[in-house]
């Protein structure tokens, strides 16, 4: 009987999913959330046929050097900026991600975060817990309306479209900007109008970032972009932290050039820019937009399916026929 493929699981996983993996593979599982050093990952991957990794795990040339057996990396997440696709492709290693299964859950969260920022929910809760609430008053903690406002979506993939569909129920006007314009039928279904980047910023009441992170989108929302937003506007980021220049964001908030922000992702996460923690008008969450139990289970299940499909597939791409 031939040896079963060996698979590394980089972060702790649901027990039943590990058991399912164990039906197909020899599994080396990580028991605690770990920030693995590149050299340690490299040493592990040299023994593996496949790996199930998350956005915590950068996988590039350094990690896969000499990993002769490695045929597949399954990333749990739709974003895959932690993977160096060029290095993996050059080595003939298949890479997969988990789109679709998290779309609606992530859109729910993006919408909720935008509303929480607009209505100052975190600030209000901190104020209440601090015992500062003396009596109801007309003018405390006033926020911005979401219903009837202009929603500006930057990045109109599946999640952006799902957010736009939610906005129709709130009577919002939805503008979007994307690498390419959507087909007219999709625009009609989402009731969303395509505009240029500058116009998107200038007209936004609530700007939501849902675009992929890449060298092109690094610090796309910098001081110059923030200056194009109106002072009452809110900024919500559920994409990747590196898209926003966090110091410029703090400057804008501190000088009342931005209404509020809702952030689920951070440039150096899990380390936070200390200035963000000082801001009153921000809602900060720890990268949980896809974090419903059902969706996280679906993401992991899809990643496992991807791994099974990839490793059942025969030799590594580019290997000579046996």
Binding interface with ligand DGY (CB under 6 A): 55, 77-79, 102, 290
Cβ distance to ligand DGY smaller for residue 146 or 263 = 263
Query: 269, 296, 297, 316: which is the annotated catalytic residue?
Result: 269
Query: 20, 166, 240, 281: which is the annotated catalytic residue?
Result: 240
| Closest distance of CB 78 from ligand DGY, Å | 4
Cβ distance to ligand DGY smaller for residue 113 or 201 = 113
| Closest distance of CB 284 from ligand DGY, Å | 16
Please state whether beta strands 206-209 and 192-194 pair in parallel, antiparallel, or not at all (unpaired). Answer: unpaired
Cβ distance to ligand DGY smaller for residue 102 or 192 = 102
Q: For 91-220, where are the alpha helices, taking DSSP H only?
A: 103-118, 121-129, 158-168, 184-190, 197-203
| Closest distance of CB 55 from ligand DGY, Å | 6
d(CA 190, CA 167): 9
Q: Look up 287 and say whether it is catalytic.
A: yes
Query: 119, 120, 281, 287: which is the annotated catalytic residue?
Result: 287
**How many degrees, rounded to 5, is the angle at CA 244 between CA 160 and CA 250?**
125
Cβ distance to ligand DGY smaller for residue 37 or 100 = 100
Q: Look up 232 and say whether it is catalytic.
A: no
Compute and round to an integer the Cα radius of gyration of the chain: 22
Separation of CA 299 from chain center = 13
| Closest distance of CB 266 from ligand DGY, Å | 12
Assess contact for 227 and 257: CB atoms under 8 A. yes
Q: Look up 219 and say whether it is catalytic.
A: no
**Cβ contacts of 70 within 8 Å, gap of 6 or more:** 45, 46, 48, 49, 50, 51, 64, 91, 93, 316
Active site (catalytic) residues: 240, 269, 287
């Amino acid at each position: 009987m031939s040896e079963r493929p060996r698979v590394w699981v980089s972060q702790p996983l649901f027990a039943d999913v590990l058991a399912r993996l164990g039906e197909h593979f020899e599994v080396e599982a990580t028991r605690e959330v770990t920030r693995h050093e590149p050299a340690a990952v490299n040493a592990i991957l040299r023994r593996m046929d496949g790996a199930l990794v998350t956005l915590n795990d950068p996988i590039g040339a350094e990690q896969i050097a000499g990993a002769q057996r490695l045929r597949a990396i399954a990333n749990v997440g739709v974003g895959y900026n932690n993977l160096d696709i060029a290095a993996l492709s050059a080595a003939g290693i298949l890479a997969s991600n988990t789109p679709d299964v998290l779309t609606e859950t992530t859109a729910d969260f993006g919408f909720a975060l935008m509303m929480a920022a607009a209505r100052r929910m975190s600030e209000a809760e901190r104020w209440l817990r601090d015992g500062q609430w003396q009596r109801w008053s007309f003018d405390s903690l006033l926020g911005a309306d979401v219903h009837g406002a202009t929603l500006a979506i930057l990045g109109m993939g599946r999640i952006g479209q799902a957010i736009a569909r939610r906005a129709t129920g709130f009577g919002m006007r939805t503008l979007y900007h994307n690498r390419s314009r959507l087909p007219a039928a999709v625009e009609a279904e989402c009731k969303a109008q395509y505009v240029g980047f500058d116009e998107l910023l200038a007209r936004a009441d609530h700007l939501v970032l849902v675009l992929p992170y890449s060298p092109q989108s690094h610090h796309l929302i910098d001081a110059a972009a923030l200056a194009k937003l109106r002072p009452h506007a809110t900024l919500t980021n559920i994409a990747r932290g590196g898209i926003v220049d966090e110091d410029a964001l703090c400057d804008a908030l501190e000088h009342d050039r931005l209404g509020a922000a809702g952030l689920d992702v951070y440039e150096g996460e899990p380390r936070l820019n200390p200035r963000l923690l000082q801001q009153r008008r921000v809602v900060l969450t720890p990268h949980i937009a896809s974090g419903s139990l059902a969706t996280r289970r679906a993401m992991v299940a899809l990643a496992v399916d991807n791994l099974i499909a990839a490793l059942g597939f025969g030799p590594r791409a580019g290997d000579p026929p046996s």
